[in-house]
Amino acid sequence: MIGYLLDRAVPLTLTSWPLGEPIGWALVAVGVALMGSAVMTFRRAGTSLNPAKPTTRVVVHGPYRFTRNPMYVGWVIVYLGCVLLTNTVWPLVSLPVVLVLISRAVIAKEERYLAAKFGDAYRAYKARVRRWL
């Protein structure tokens, strides 16, 4: 929203590159596929997607082999695709702030919960797999 408001006040075009739109759509598709894969993996594992509900296990297969947060990574990929589709600089400029907020306010809290609930099993997974990529 901040990116949109900044663009309304001071419009800045990102690129005049003709491949921006097809690459933007490709990124959206990849991000949605990654998020979908993460959701399916959670469901197959029998644990809740809802962060307000208890987690029943540490999911370590599917996209969780490569990143501890494939849903957030997928969201970032979709976001970057949308940046290319809207062809504006401001959402890209605000992305690092959003990522810091997500890392500190959301992911850190989730990681503390998982470490407290699953102990060494989660700590071993955390040591083996990166938070983002």
Question: What are the tens digits of pLDDT across the range 48-80?
Answer: 888 778 889 999 999 999 999 999 999 999 999
In angstroms, rounded to a whole number, what is the distance separating the alpha carbons of residues 44 and 39?
A: 9
Phi/psi at 12 (nearest 5 deg)?
Answer: -130, 115
Judge whether 86 and 12 are in contact, CB under 8 Å.
no
- Residue range(s) defining the domain that contains residue 81: 18-128
Task: State both tokens at 8.
Answer: 């309304």
Note the pTM of the prediction, 2 decimals. Answer: 0.89
Q: Indicate the DSSP class of residue 65.
A: G
Q: Is residue 50 part of a domain?
A: yes
Alpha-carbon span 132 to 74, nearest angstrom: 10
Residue 96's region, left for phi above 0, alpha for psi from -120 to 50, else beta, is alpha
Would 69 be classed as within a structural domain?
Answer: yes
**How many folded domains does the chain comprise?**
1
On the question of pLDDT at 116 being above 80, the answer is yes
Q: Is residue 96 part of a domain?
A: yes
Q: What is the mean pLDDT of residues 19-45?
A: 96
Q: Would you state the pLDDT for residue 82? A: 92
Determine the pLDDT at residue 67: 97
**pLDDT at residue 91, rounded to an integer:** 87
